[in-house]
Amino acid sequence: MVYGKHMSENRKTTVYLTSHLQRLLKIRARRTRQPEALLIREALTAYLVEERPALPAFVGSGTSRLDDGVDSTNVKSWVRENWIEDIERKRDNA
C-alpha cells in the first residue's frame, strides 16, 4: 500500500462498528502490530479503490486483444451488465 504525500491529508472521522467487527479489528491489530486506523484505511482502500470492475481498455472498430466479445456494437450493454449493475449492487449492499 502506497500512501506517499497523501498521509498528511488524512482526515478524522467516526466509524461505528458492531462489537464483533471491533473485536476482530482489535485482534488483527494486535496480531499484525499495526494501528487499527491503518487497517481500516487499507480495508477501505481495497474495497473502494483497488477492486474496481474492469473496463475494456479500448472500444472501437477492429478486433480486441481480449476475448471478451466487446466491440462498438455492444459496448453500452456490456458496461451496463458488467460495470454499472455491479456498482449499484455494491452500493445497495453497503
Condensed to tens digits (0 to 9), the pLDDT of residues 79-94 reads 777 777 667 777 777 6
In total, how many domains does the chain have? 2
User: Dihedral of the CA atoms 78, 82, 88, 89 (nearest 10)?
Assistant: 140
Residue 62 has pLDDT above 80, yes or no: no
Q: What CATH number is associated with residue 39?
A: 1.10.1220
CA–CA distance from 79 to each of 34, 61, 64, 88 (Å)? 39, 17, 16, 12
Largest separation between any pair of C-alpha atoms in the chain: 54
pTM of this structure = 0.47
**Closest C-alpha to 10, from 32, 41, 46:** 41
With respect to residue 2, please indicate whether it lies within any of the assigned structural domains: no
Model pLDDT for residues 23-41, shown as the tens digit of each residue: 999 999 999 999 999 999 9
- pLDDT tens for residues 42-56? 998 888 876 666 666
Regarding whether 63 and 45 lie in a shared domain, the answer is no
Residues 40 and 15 in one domain: yes
In a domain, 35, yes or no: yes
